[in-house]
Structure formats: C-alpha cells, structure tokens
Structure 1
Amino acid sequence: MKTSSKLFTFGLIASWYSSNIGVLLLNKYLLSNYGFKYPIFLTMCHMMACSLLSYIAIAWMKMVPMQTIRSRIQFLKISALSLVFCVSVVLGNISLRFLAVSFNQAVGATTPFFTAIFAYLVTLKREAWLTYITLIPVVTGVIIASGLQLQELSKKLNSMNLLLYMAPIAVVFLLPTSLIMEENVVGIALALARDDVKIIWYLLLNSALAYFVNLTNFLVTNHTSALTLQVLGNAKGAVAVVVSILIFRNPVSVTGMLGYTLTVFGVILYGEAKKRSSK
C-alpha cells in the first residue's frame, strides 16, 4: 500500500508538472510566436473552460462535495479574489508576449518564501525553523535572476469549489474587458480560425490544460502540502526554463543560470528539512 501510495503521488506530481509546463509554453507560443496577441481573451478562454470542467468534476463526477456560498460577504470576498486572480493571470500572460519564459519563471519562484510567511500569519501554523532557513537559497537565487511576486490565498472553500465560483465571475470581468481593450478580438479569432483551423485546437488544448493545472494543484496539495507544492514549483520553473530554451531559443545569462542553480539547491535542502521535521 505504501508503494502504491508513493506511485500515486508521483503520478499526480508528474501530471501537475506536465500541465503547468504545457500551459506555460503554449501560452508563450500563442502570444509571442504564433501571433495571437490577445492575452485577456486567452485568459477568458481559460476561465470558461475552468467554469465548465469544474462543474462537471464536482456536480457530475462528485470528485469533492459541492460547497455553497453562505453569505453576501463571502460572495464579495470570492469576487475580489477572482478579480485579483484575473489581473495576475492577465499580466502574467501579457508578460509572455515580451519576456522570455526563463525570466517569467524566475519571478514566480520566490512564492514559497511568501507562502510560508503568509501561511503563518493567516493560520498561525509555523514550519520548523530549519525549513525556513532552507528557503533562503530559494529566495536568494531568484533575486539574483529577477524579482518578487505574491499570491492570494483563500481558506473558506476547498480549491476546487473556489475555482467553481471564481471562474464564472472571472469570465464576467474578462469578457467586457477583452471586447473593449482588444478591439474586434472575436472577429479576428474567427478570421484566424478560417485561415488556420489549428488555432481552435490550440485554444481548446490550452484552456483544458489551464483547468488541469488547477485540478492537479488541488490533488497534489491534498497529498502533500501547500508549501511543498510551492517549492516543487521552483523545480518546475527550472524544467520549464530548459524546455523553453530548447523550443524558443531564449538566451539565458550566466547570472540567471546561477540564480536557478541556487534555487534548485534550495529546493533540495527544503525537501531534506521537511523529512527531518516529520520524523
């Protein structure tokens, strides 16, 4: 049973890695190389897929019990979180038009440090001091390569139910924004589809991957922990950088590679610290 449990967890992590790297590289290809320069519309497609697939997973497949919004205040909090999430994803997608995947991933790799801090502030659950110490190389390595980023957290609903409610609200935010800021985007998308039907499959695959990123986030967190998921993300970033260099020929400086090496070193130290603290 222990071996099968480890294999299951390994499979979940592999699926999480694949969907995360897949959606990142496909976003980069569509927005930068293919020439589909509409990040707001692309994010809206993601949220539409998340709305539909979340409902199927919860209401039909019963993957988790359906949770309800219990108050107007809770709805407003979810709406606010959805808005912040939309802005974050849209800005991240916009950055892929102009930045190499390596830099984009470097920015996101400092989140374990802030996740640990905010987890303590919100839940008062503190990791072992050795765990915090091992996160220092992670943060230092990324600062060498780039800058900082924070993520919003929510504790009211499990992440699958939270996505079920956030995604449709996000579509409500993104649809008028896309129509106003990305002029004639629907007509352009239809024209592209007539000229090259592959764009439809790219968008469908990209949107499905965006949902599976969230699904595997939930499953991996359930079988490990939120902080472990964030630290695993640093190694994912390093893999994404290597793959992006091979596919897109992105130049990476010696300093940037030094930063990533230090980040991966921090990931290894963190894993060892978690093992010792759990004994």
Structure 2
Amino acid sequence: MSAMKSSGQFFTIGLVTAWYSSNIGVLLLNKYLLSNYGFKYPIFLTMCHMTACSLLSYIAIAWMKMVPMQTIRSRVQFMKISALSLIFCTSVVSGNISLRYLPVSFNQAIGATTPFFTAVFAYLMTFKREAWLTYVTLIPVVTGVIIASGGEPSFHLFGFIICIGATAARALKSVLQGILLSSEGEKLNSMNLLLYMAPIAVVFLLPATLVMEENVVGITLALARDDSRIIWLLLFNSALAYFVNLTNFLVTKHTSALTLQVLGNAKGAVAVVISILIFRNPVSVTGMLGYALTVFGVILYSEAKKRSK
C-alpha cells in the first residue's frame, strides 16, 4: 500500500511541477516575445494560443478520451459559453498587452488581487455576502498592490490599467461561470468548457487581429524568413498555453480546491523570482514588500473563507 501511496505522491508532485513549469513558462515566453523579442502582437498571440487549445482539446477529448465528451444542450447554454469566452479573451488579451509595458514581477503582483475582484463581483451579481472577516483580509491584498505600484521602478500607467482590467475580467469569468453553468444539465468540466470556449474565442479574436494588428501574418512570415525561431517559439508557446489548462484541470482533480489556491499563491511568488532572475528588471524593496503584503493578504483570505464555510 505504501508503494501505491508514494507513487501517488510522486504523480501529484509531477503534476504540480508540470503545472508550475507550463504556467510560468507561458508567462515568461509571452513576456520575451512581446517585449524583449519585439513581437508586438498580443491579440495574434492570444489567437495562436486559442487555436492550439481548440485543436489539442479536441485531440485530448475526442481521440484520447481523457475525459468524457460533454455536449452543448441548448442555444441558451451556447450563448452563456460564448459570453464566458468573450470575457476570457478580454482577460488573456489584456494580460498579454500589459506584458508589453510591465515586468512579469509587477504583472503577477497585480494578478494576485484576483480574490478582491472575485469578492466584489460575487457581491454585486449574486448578493452573496462573505463573513466580514473575509472582507477585512482583502485590505492587505489591495494595500500591497498600491505599495508595490508606488515602489515599482518600471511602473507604466497604461500597462497598469490594462493589467487591472485583465485581473478583473478573470475574476468576472470565474463568478459568471459559477452562475451561468451552475444547473446540473449545464455543468461542464473545465476541459470540455475549454473545448467549446477556445474555438469561439478564435472567432472573436480573428476580426480583432485583422483590424487592430493588420498584416500580422505577413509580418510573422517575414520575421520567420530572417529567424525561423519565431515560428518554433509561437508553436511551443501555444502548445504550452493548452498545457496550462490541462495541468490545471488535473491538479484540481487530484488535489483539493484549497490546495490549488495555496499552490497558486506560491506559483505567483515563484514566477516573480524567476522573472527577475531572467529579465533582470529593477525591483525596489518597497515593491517587494508590497507584493509580500498582497500574497500574505491572499493567504489570510483563503483561511477566512475556509473558516466561514
């Protein structure tokens, strides 16, 4: 039995490692492409990600039978999934745009305020009140980001606003997902949800790319003639974007939601350290203290929510 248990533990550790690597890998690669490499096409990049997610989701579900295929039951359900897809697109595109202007470390610090936005949207849309203590824990979450912003040497106002927008959109999607797909007949697991959301996202992103990033395919091909690495970087980055969703689903399945939250908080901190080591962006003590305060607030928030249940 102990051999079974230890192999199970190794499997979980392997999964978490894969989840961390793919998550941080996508973040760093996006940053490298969008700001260091100078590939200034965040919408096209997101479209590549979504195309890969569409294809790989289909292979994983229809061919490899990783999870049973769930079907869309009604037009209403399709509309709900489309709405989620649009918000999801907005959050990913905004996150990618913000990486053009902000270092990964600061981007992650802002991203850590997701629980604050989630609590706000949950209250506004479902009138669901948390225990007052839970709201109190959100004070350090927000204060930390305000301190970090003040102490961020590479602060960029537009990047900051876009990044806040991305974080709010991510929170809105999770709250809406809970409301829209809550009835038993409409519940989709995250793998099936991605299978339907990704192609719809491509449909939204294609016209946006054509209008806002004209001739991006021509430019990418011209770049590829000079440096074939760009094609491999885009392909690898897009496959990795799918892998983030896949490993996220598997980690959720094999651990608890709470473990996922704790691991998620730690992941942000790991991403910050790695990105500072790789991109060597200047950081200030104030910025780091602010970020630490935010992460501390998020941990308190998870604890308070757990206690109030």
| TM-score above 0.5, yes or no | yes
**More displaced, 225-234 or 3-12?**
225-234
Among 192, 204, 217, the alignment partner of 1:186 is 217
Deviations 1:45-64 (A, max 9, x none): 00000000000111111111
* Equivalent residue, structure 2, for 1:163: 194
Instruction: Determine the structure 1 residue equivalent to 2:253.
Output: 222
**1:25-62 CA-partner distances (Å, limit 9, x unpaired):** 00000010111111111000000000000001111111
**Kept in 1: contact 2:15–2:250 (CA 8 A):** yes
Equivalent in the alignment of 1:251 = 282
SS of equivalent to 2:47: helix
Cα pair distance change 1:267/1:88, threshold 3 Å: closer
Could you state the TM-score of these two structures normalised by the residue count of structure 1? 0.86
1:7 Cα deviation from its structure 2 partner: 2.7
CA distance in 1, matches of 2:101, 2:303: 37
Query: Please, which of 269, 275, 286 is the counterpart of residue 238 of structure 1?
Result: 269
Deviates more, 1:195-204 or 1:106-115: 106-115
Q: Distance in 1 between matches of 2:97 and 2:199?
A: 21
Q: Report the equivalent of 2:29.
A: 26
Pick the aligned partner of 2:81 from 78, 82, 92: 78
Pick aligned residue for 1:107 from 107, 110, 113: 110
Change (3 A) 1:276 1:181: closer
- From the superposition, tell whether residues 128 and 53 of structure 1 become closer, same or farther in structure 2 (CA, over 3 Å): farther
Residue 154 of structure 2 corresponds to none
> Mind listing any 5+ residue stretches in structure 2 that lack a counterpart?
150-159, 182-186
Q: Which digits, 9 at most, give the CA deviation of each residue in 1:101-141, with x for residues without a partner?
A: 11111111122345567679999999999887766644543
Change in Cα spacing, 1:133 to 1:4, as seen in structure 2 (3 Å) is: farther
Any runs of at least 4 consecutive aligned residues in structure 1 with deviations exceeding 6 A, and if so which?
116-135, 270-278
Cα distance in 1 for partners of 2:143, 2:93 equals: 27
Counterpart CA distance in 2 for 1:5 and 1:44 is 36
Distance (whole Å) between structure 1 residues aligned to residue 69 and residue 216 of structure 2: 35
2:261–2:302: 8 Å Cα contact kept in structure 1?
no
Shift of 1:205: 0.7
**Alpha-carbon contact 1:128-1:277 (below 8 Å) kept:** yes
Contact 1:27–1:96 (Cα < 8 Å) also in 2: yes
Give how far 1:267 is off.
Answer: 6.0
Consecutive unaligned residues of structure 1, counting only runs of 5 or more, are none
User: SS of 2:11's equivalent?
Assistant: helix
Output the TM-score relative to the length of structure 2: 0.79
The 1-side partners of 2:243 and 2:297 are apart by 27
* Counterpart AA for 1:166: M
Query: Does 2:45 match 1:62?
Result: no
- Cα distance in 2 between the residues matched to 1:69 and 1:8: 32
Contact 2:141 2:294 in 1 (8 A): yes
Cα deviation for residue 89 of structure 1 reads 0.7
Alpha-carbon contact 1:111-1:230 (below 8 Å) kept: no
Deviation at 1:226, TM superposition (A): 3.9
Aligned pairs for 1:122-137 within 5 A: 137=140
* Matched AA of 1:91: S
Structure 2 CA distance, aligned partners of 1:21 and 1:52? 22
Looking at structure 2, the residues matched to 132 and 71 of structure 1 have their Cα atoms a distance apart, in angstroms, of 37
Q: What SS is found at the alignment partner of 2:94?
A: helix
Q: Find the aligned partners of 1:129 and 1:15 in 2 and give their Cα distance.
A: 37
Per mean C-alpha deviation after superposition, the further-off stretch among 110-119 and 121-130 is: 121-130
Alignment correspondent of 1:41: 44
Secondary structure at the aligned position of 2:40 is classed as: coil
Task: From the superposition, tell whether residues 265 and 87 of structure 1 become closer, same or farther in structure 2 (CA, over 3 Å).
Answer: closer
